[in-house]
Amino acid sequence: VARGQQKIQSQQKNAKKQAGQKKKQGHDQKAAAKTALIYTCTVCRTQVPDPKTFKQHFESKHPKTPLPSELAAGIKLFTGEFMAPIDSSTVNPA
């Protein structure tokens, strides 16, 4: 059993080794993917990353269920259906 100075050195060496292993692991893909899934289907509890994908999921998996009102409103804003068309006369030619 290590005692005194040898024990301290062993603990420091182990702490360094543990820190090095954490750096090697780097980015945790599962955790990043889980945080990206922010929308949850109210019917089947499936998680999806964005409103467009959510709408596609809802229309393909639950065609008989009406689209939730908050999803329908969010899709219109997300896809830009309410944006005015660009007038080419106001664009500055480069």
In the predicted model, is pLDDT for residue 38 greater than 80? yes
| H or E segment and range at residue 47 | strand 47-48
Backbone dihedral angles phi then psi of residue 82, each to the nearest 5 degrees = -95, 5
Report the alpha-carbon distance of residue 9 to residue 25 in Å, rounded. 25
For 48, the 3-state DSSP assignment is: strand
pLDDT category, 40, cuts 50, 70, 90? confident
Domains of the chain: which residue ranges? 50-82
Question: Residue for token digits 């964005």?
Answer: 50
pLDDT per position as a tens digit, 43-71: 898 888 888 888 898 889 999 988 877 67
Burial class (CB in 10 A: 0-12, 13-18, 19+), 55: buried
The model scores a pTM over 0.85: no
Two tokens at 21? 């292993």
pLDDT, residue 86, reads: 46
pLDDT category, 34, cuts 50, 70, 90? confident
| Residue 49 neighbours by CB distance under 10 Å | 13
